[in-house]
Chains A and B, each alone.
Chain A
């Protein structure tokens, strides 16, 4: 009889210990939700990005909260306005870190302000997911940095690979002169000679000029087969309009990054040169993800279900960066569950464990499925919208690339795939 009681007693004691640990971990949390800081511009000229970067947070937290939250706490997306200006970002983010309770996760930290916001959040030991493509973070030492989108130079190389696939031998490269867009150029410059693609023109342009006609006249004289281009909505509209005016209404194929496709960009370009151009002649190059997986369906439905994201769900679900943030937040949340702690310094080391392939791990494609498996004591591998994620030692993941064409009815059509290994070879 005594022996029969030993095993259940040990199990009971283990369970009590686990509850105590969980209680201790969650008791380090104040009452109220766990804050997911969305650090992005919510005011100023770049305010649109705040809305776009909030959407994947809303989708992820809606689903996580539906399954009961993390460690007994709901998750809440809280805007932290960096205004798109580093000078304003520092005091705003510092204030947020000091005053917002349970600030245990973050996302956003976009390119324009990353140099100032990343050190602050990393210094506060808060794990964060960013879609900033700066190549300076390819070998970052920031422990709490996690990125599931490729660096800009890889995207640039993928654009040239796409041009080669389409048979373009001569392209013009024009980027707006800011850090976000010109980050693609080093990859383009490395890839073009290897792919045998001639760069007719390779230049940057200032934003928001009254006219780009002189440059356009030079471009037209060189007869490029395609334009590799990236700029803000206004600049793009003015440039393409000038091109159309000077070229008898004709425009070459535009190869641009997927994160160009914002509602503002779409509206500005459609009004300047027509919707039909976007639907038939604009190729959007960025992270590949399948739009036919259950994980994608859940993600898109979550965007459609929330009134705050419904209106932009179709556009947003066509492009990689928001999906990378959605997956990243799910991974961080599962790491919290695995570590039984919401403290960044504790759960950060579990992030790779949640995502990596390991023998005997149950493959899960949602937070709810992952939480259930962890509760049963199983190992898990989160495979979400972007597919299987393998972080390198610098906490970066860059999978394959795809070129999509944005069609009518706010959906996109997959044009072609470019493998991660091909891009890696082009970057040398």
Chain B
């Protein structure tokens, strides 16, 4: 029992990081309907920006916020500079996915050109080990958990209590109708990319803190589990992505404890497949609406 509770605790800690990334990913998909594979490379870029800011004397948590915002701005630039023009020219969704794959590879190799291929590290930032009941977490894991919860709470309030949030949900649901209702959909889209990009950058830095060392492939390695978490929760559903991240995190840690760590990813993806067989819309997806919180 002790091992089960302990591994659930570990799963919540790693799930929080996955949730952060998955929420950003699903938010982006909800607005743009694009499977944006560049998201992984942007997470890597976020981790390297965090390293740069840390190297210039910034506190890691401030670096996480600032780095996140910088990736948010990069995401807007990516959307405006590449995705939107190609979409206007009538490029098919599949072709846009290929474009995002290509852009991701280019970005990763640009990171290598600037920072080199060598493994990097923020150093040991885990802090004190905290034990309560049967849970064992480091102070940095607790802080990341708190940040993740705060961000998701903030996103919930944004989407449900603000005009911008309503505009985002309307745009996600039916862009044309939203435009005809006077919603500045391109500005709403930009803001959605900014917010999702910020989540992306912060997830990259959180990953780098958690894994203690990283290289330019960091984001690519975690992109699939994050997409799995987003799909598990229901595509375009931020709450679903939060829960999906936790499910994937807990499933991998519990399977590592009781079966074999070599198969932890297998368990997580098997759960995803089973869930989709039973409930194709995911945990929080609904039949009537396709997108954000609908």
Contacts and interface: CB of A to CB of B under 8 A. Distances in A.
Interface in A233-262: 233-234, 237-238, 241, 245-246, 248
A211 B212 contact: no
Interface in A204-245: 204-206, 208-215, 217-218, 221, 233-234, 237-238, 241, 245
A274 B218 CA distance: 22
A210 B222 contact: yes
Q: In which size bucket is the chain A interface? A: 35 or more
Given A203-B261, A218-B3, A211 B121 contact: no
Contacts of A211: 10, 13-14, 210, 253
Contacts of A234: 119, 211, 213-215
B260 interface: yes
B184 interface: no
A264 interface: yes
Give chain B's interface secondary structure class: helix
B262 A206 contact: yes
Contacts of A238: 210-213
A199 B175 CA distance: 61
B118 interface: yes
Contact of B212 (A45, A221, A265, A271): A271
Give chain A's interface secondary structure class: helix
B51 to A, nearest CB: 11
B256 interface: yes
Interface in B127-175: 129, 136, 138
Contacts of A48: 117-118
Given A45-B217, A234-B119, A205 B261 contact: yes
Contact of A263 (B118, B122, B126, B136): B118
Contacts of B216: 45
A177 interface: yes
Given A215-B257, A234-B211, A271-B213, 15 more contacts: A44-B117, A45-B117, A206-B265, A208-B217, A209-B211, A214-B7, A217-B10, A237-B119, A237-B213, A241-B126, A245-B129, A245-B138, A248-B129, A268-B212, A272-B213
- 9 nearest A-B residue pairs (beta carbon): A214-B257, A271-B121, A213-B10, A237-B213, A268-B213, A214-B7, A214-B256, A47-B117, A210-B14
20 contacts: A47-B112, A48-B117, A203-B260, A204-B262, A206-B265, A208-B211, A208-B221, A211-B210, A213-B7, A213-B13, A217-B7, A217-B136, A217-B257, A218-B257, A237-B211, A241-B212, A246-B136, A264-B119, A268-B212, A271-B121
